[in-house]
Each structure stands twice: as structure tokens, then as C-alpha cells.
Amino acid sequence: MTSWRPHHVVQRSPWLRDLPTEVAVLSAIAFCVSIGFGILAPSIPVFARSFGVTALEASAVISGMALTRLIMSPFSGILGNRFGERVILTTGLFLVALTSLAAGMSQNYWQLLFWRGITGVGSSMFTVSALALLLRVSKPDQRGRAASAFQGGFLLGGVAGPAFGGLIVAWSIRAPFFVYAASLLVAAIVSWVFLAKAKLEELETVVSNGQEEKTESLREALGDGAYRAALMVNLVTGFVSFGLRISIVPLFITEALDRGASLAGFGFLIAAIVQAFLLMPAGRMADTVGRRKAMRIGTAMLTLGMLVLTASDILTNGFGTASLIGPALFFASMAIQGVSAAFLGSAPAAVVGDIVGGKRGGIVVATFQMTSDLGMILGPLAAGLLVDMLDYDWAFGVGTVLSLLALMVVWAMPETLGRVRKSAPAIA
């Protein structure tokens, strides 16, 4: 067997040591996408409101894209199986770049809504294909760290983007769309040039041990308890971490704690710093100790973080907004959830990679991605309804219960790393 390691392994970065070069390329693409979106995201509702629409209509511009992503994910998986992840990944990036450019040139609300909806199609093509490709080119004992590196690219871009976004929005409300389009064009070029087809095919053959290509069916995957646990965790993470937390925590800070909006920003920054610090150690644990233990830690920390957040509202009501107990517990909750995000950003994806086993499993990966999108859609709606009808502690309490349910499912799941090691040969 021809050795591929000298051509495919990055030795310089401690984060990417012993991982295929393609992981570094995909992480760089994730960074380009994320920093552009970090610049764009805060301006979307403001731009929509400039057309004189209601807050609900402005929010529909955001949720509409998420809904399109959810609907398109299965088709993106099928396209990846049919034409290859590299082609669909690059096409998706180009599509998002062009539709973002068109959205920035919108002359009315309906044009903006239309183009943002089409953007969801390209976004689905990119996210599903990128994750599927990442898992296909990584060996079983690399998948946790590979997923961590990929998430790290998104995280760094997400932190850096808003730092520049304010300056760009001050220049022009349309400018962030054009900057986002430019960052996506760079990502698309990087994808097509540095993800060489011949190298990908060689690496995928080695990882899959030269087995004949076949598509892993969704029905087979759903019969695996580990896959069902990964779906549950992704659904709850989307609902709690991305949906509930992002949608109502800023309101909780200003209305329940009676503090400035900047306090929420500091809390999110704490979570991001903790997550960044633990991403690679968490991925390493998933690759050595096991996926199940890493997922147990992640879901346990998610449950604890939501419990502390719930307590911050209850105790604030008891001691008053002047008390420092509420803000202190809020910061503690964000730090704990940062720990959770580090472990749940790698281990569930590694489980999916183990189940696909180096073969084409676009629909399996797409379904995994869909659960997160579904959680992101349902989370804000459920949280907003609970806050309107009851209070913040009820919304946070529901997040705590869902996190606990995910922990129970993970606790009973089978380990996939040991299973892979028994069947997969050593790769030089």
C-alpha cells in the first residue's frame, strides 16, 4: 500500500498534528464562512426593518433561511452521494455567495426574503457536504479531533466576525452582504483548489480500507442506538444552545436581570473562550477514551448549565435585580455551557463518522444536520411562547429537562469507537 501520510498530514500546528491536510482546508473554509456570517448576522434584521416591515416579518428573514436549510438537507445528502462532496460543497459556497450579493442589492422586503431563502439551499449543500467529507477522510481515531478542528474554524470566525461587523454596518447597511459574499467566494476557491479530487479519492480509499463504495442507508443507521443518541444530542443542542439561549438570553439580561445588553455579550464571549480552550482536548478524549464518555460529559454539563441559568432567574426574583447573584450565576452558566459545547461539538459527529465508516453516507449525515436545524427553529418559538405565557425560568427549565433526557439517552448508548477499532485495520 502506498503511503499517503507525507502528502496529507499537517505537522506544524499542534491543533492539526497527525490529521489529514484536508481537515485543515475544511477548517479554513469554515472560518471564511463563519467570519463572513458573523459580520452579516447582526445587520439582517436591521436591513429588513429598513423596508418598513414588522419585527415578525424581519425575523422571518432569519427563520426562513433555517427552514430552507432543513428542507434541503436530505437532497444535499443525496447530491453529495451522486456527484461527490467536493463538487456539492464548492457549488453550495458559490450559490450562497451569489445569493448574498443579490440580497444586499434587494430593493424591497420580498426580494430580501426570497434571496435569503435561496441562500438556505446553498448553506445546506455546504454544511452537509463539508461534514460528510470531513468524516470520510478521517481515520476512526482522528474523527473527534477532526470535528473539533472544523468546529474551531466556525468558532474563531464567529468570534472575529462581529468585531468587524459594527464598523462595516456603520459604513453601509448593505455592505455586510457584500463582505459575506466575498468571504464565501474565497472559501469556494479554496475548496476547489486545495481539495484535489485525486487526493481525496486516494485518502478515502485508504480510510475505508479499499472497500467498494456504497451508500449507508438511513434505515440501517436509525437501527443503531449510537446514531439515535447522536441525533437526540444534536436536536437538544440546536434547541437549547443555538435556539433558546441565543433568542431569549439577551432579553433575560435586559428585562429580568435589569442589566445592559453588553452583559449578554460578555457571557457569550466567556462561553466561546471556554469552548475554544477545550475543543481539542475534548476531541482527543473522543478519539482515545471513547465517544460515549465525551458525550456523557457534554450532556451532563449542558444540563448543569441550564439548571444554573434557571436558578439565576429564580434567585433574582427572590433577591431583586440589584443583587449580584443573578449575573454571577449567569456567567457561571455560560462557562459551563462552553464546556458542554466543546464536547458536543466533536463526539456526536465522530459517532456519525463511525457509523458511515468511510463510505458515502450523505443522507445519514444530512439527517444528523437536520436535527440541529430543527432544534434551532423550534427553540426560539417554544422559548418565546413560554416567556410570554409564564416566565424565563419556565423556558430555561424546559431546556434543563430536554438536556436531562439527552443525558439519559447518551448514558444508555453503545460505544462506537471500540466497535470501529475491532473491524478497521491499522492505517500506516
Q: Which of 42, 30, 45, 66 is nearest to 376 (CA)?
A: 66
pLDDT band at 420 (very low <50, low <70, confident <90, very high): very low
* 422 Cβ contact partners less than 8 Å away, ≥ 6 residues apart: none
Work out whether strand 9-10 and strand 19-20 pair parallel, antiparallel, or are unpaired: antiparallel
* For the ranges 61-70, 115-124, 397-406, the one whose mean pLDDT is highest: 397-406
Looking at the chain, the whole-number percentage of residues with pLDDT higher than 70 is 82
Residues 224 and 99 in one domain: no
Mean pLDDT of the chain: 79
Residues 160 and 247 in one domain: no
- Report CA dihedral (334, 339, 342, 343) to the nearest 10 degrees: -130
Alpha-carbon gap, residue 372 to 128, rounded angstroms = 12
pLDDT at 40 over 60: yes
Residues 303 and 397 in one domain: yes
The residue among 207, 237, 257 that closes a domain is: 207
What's the pLDDT at 87? 87
* Grid cell digits, residue 135: 468524516
Domain annotation covers residue 212: no
Count other Cβ atoms within 10 Å, centred on residue 227: 26
Residues 235 and 196 in one domain: no
Residues 62 and 95 in one domain: yes
Alpha-carbon gap, residue 130 to 33, rounded angstroms = 12
pLDDT (tens digit, 9 = 90+) per residue, 258-299? Answer: 777 667 778 878 888 898 889 888 988 988 888 999 999 999
pLDDT band at 361 (very low <50, low <70, confident <90, very high): low
The residue among 207, 242, 272 that closes a domain is: 207
Residues 141 and 246 in one domain: no
| Dihedral pair phi/psi, residue 243, rounded to 5° | -85, -70
Alpha-carbon gap, residue 163 to 340, rounded angstroms = 24
Residues 289 and 409 in one domain: yes
* 11 Cβ contact partners less than 8 Å away, ≥ 6 residues apart: 17, 18
Buried b (16+ CB within 10 A) or exposed e, 240-252: bbbbbbebbbbeb
Looking at the chain, the whole-number percentage of residues with pLDDT higher than 90 is 18
What's the pLDDT at 427? 37
Q: Which residue has the higher pLDDT, 81 or 117?
A: 117
Its domain, for residue 234, covers 218-417
Q: Which of 116, 89, 77 is nearest to 28 (CA)?
A: 89
Please tell me the total count of domains within the chain.
Answer: 2
3-state secondary structure 274-317: HHHHHHHHHHHHHHHCCHHHHHHHHHHHHHHHHHHHHHHHHHHH
Could you tell me if 363 and 74 are in contact, meaning their C-beta atoms sit under 8 angstroms apart?
A: yes
Domain annotation covers residue 129: yes
Residues 270 and 395 in one domain: yes
pLDDT at 215 over 70: no
Domain annotation covers residue 425: no
The helix/strand/coil state of 19 is strand
What CATH number should be reported for the domain holding residue 135? 1.20.1250.20
Could you tell me if 364 and 352 are in contact, meaning their C-beta atoms sit under 8 angstroms apart?
A: yes
Distances (CA, A) of 262 to 209, 251, 258, 259: 52, 11, 12, 8
The residue among 207, 228, 256 that closes a domain is: 207
What's the pLDDT at 228? 93
What's the pLDDT at 233? 94
H or E element at residue 426: none
Domain annotation covers residue 424: no
pLDDT (tens digit, 9 = 90+) per residue, 324-351? Answer: 787 889 899 989 999 998 999 888 988 9
What's the pLDDT at 173? 79
DSSP state of 258: -
Domain annotation covers residue 84: yes
Domain annotation covers residue 30: yes
What's the pLDDT at 10? 38
Residues 103 and 128 in one domain: yes
Q: How many CA atoms lie within 13 A of 355 on its CB side?
A: 32
pTM for this predicted structure: 0.78
Residues 36 and 170 in one domain: yes
Alpha-carbon gap, residue 185 to 191, rounded angstroms = 10
* Grid cell digits, residue 328: 454571577
Residues 359 and 401 in one domain: yes
Specify the residue for cell string 423550534: 378
Q: How many CA atoms lie within 13 A of 185 on its CB side?
A: 11
What's the pLDDT at 321? 59
Q: Which residue has the higher pLDDT, 361 or 68?
A: 68
pLDDT (tens digit, 9 = 90+) per residue, 344-353? Answer: 988 898 898 8
